Structures are given as C-alpha cells and as structure tokens.
Structure 1
C-alpha cells in the first residue's frame, strides 16, 4: 500500500465557517478544469460518500480558485464524464 499524503483544501461556507475537503480527483473537460472534493469530516449538508464538484478558475494573480458550477447542464456533463472515467478505471482494474 502506498503512503501518499492527501491534498486537503479548506473552504468557507456562507457563515464563514471552515470545512476541510480532500481532493479526490480533477479532470479537464471542454477546456475547463474541475475538482472533485470529499469532506474530511462529516458535514451536516453533505451526505456520506458524496463528492462536491467545483470549477477551477484562475484569478487575476494566476492563483487557482474554486467556483460553484451554476449551470445544471454543465454540472451534469462534468458528473457524467467523471462517472464514465471511474467506470473505465474499474474495468481496467478488473481486467488486470
């Protein structure tokens, strides 16, 4: 078993409260980057095994920032692409 350090990202909610998330995966789709985050601790508004999808954008200083995906169609497209990627990975692992 590999010993890898997880990428932990701290996000602020509407009330300014900090929540830690682990970067589960990231993909690029149609020239945009998206991050898939899972809560490190149980959050009241996040179901167990639920992953949050955020768009990665660069601010004026070139720093990566995470934004909510406002468009439902865009969110569905990203979620479906990630699900397909997971299924392909599972298939490859079962064929090994």
Structure 2
C-alpha cells in the first residue's frame, strides 16, 4: 500500500526546471491550454504537479497531474487514471494546502 502521508512529501521542481513556470498541455482534441506550475512533489514513489489554468482564477480547482520520466530523462505530465490514487493525492494536496 502506498503511503500518501504529508510527512512523506518531498517538494521538487522538475517540471518548472524543465519547462519554466508555465506549461502547455494539449487535450485529446488538439486544444492547447496553458497552466501555471503551482506545486510539485514526490510521495509514495511517484511524482505529481499541481497546475492552475493560466487564465483561471485562484478559486478554480487545480489540476493534479502525474509526472512520468522516460528512459532518456524527458518529462511527461499525464492524467491520474486510477481513482484511488487520484483521491489520495487530492486529499494530500488539500491537507498540505489547508492544514488544520
């Protein structure tokens, strides 16, 4: 079982270092959107990036993407398809952002 505890989080800057503070994402239909890189962290053996739409407001829900690294070191941001993983990472991000 993966440990998604706040005390296990390691803050990173891989995406920001590779692409800068704004990333360009393309959806399935070819639509390009720009997102600001808000946070990046590793937890439970996986890496995640929290992104906000460039033209959105601070009240918009952030997008949480999984960061994958290819064998040649290239980074890729992918949607978290596993519902349990997404729920765990989303709850962890809320805990980190809004501590009690």
TM-score of the aligned structures, taking structure 2 as reference length: 0.72
RMSD, aligned α-carbons: 1.6
Deviation by residue 1:27-84 (Cα, 9 ceiling, x = unmatched): 2110111001110125xxxxx5111111000013211111111100000000111111
Q: Who wins on radius of gyration, i.e. which is larger?
A: 1
Structure 1 stretches of 4+ with a deviation exceeding 2 A read: none
How many residues are matched? 79
In structure 2, the partner of 1:23 is: 37
| Distance in structure 1 (CA, Å) of the matches to 2:72 and 2:31 | 25
Mark the runs of 5 or more structure 2 residues left unpaired by the alignment: 1-19
Q: Confirm or deny that 1:51 pairs with 2:62.
A: yes
TM-score of the aligned structures, taking structure 1 as reference length: 0.75
| Distance in structure 2 (CA, Å) of the matches to 1:87 and 1:36 | 15
Q: Confirm or deny that 1:80 pairs with 2:91.
A: yes
Q: Confirm or deny that 1:68 pairs with 2:79.
A: yes
Query: Which of the pair has the greater relative contact order for Cα pairs under 8 Å at 6+ separation?
Result: 2
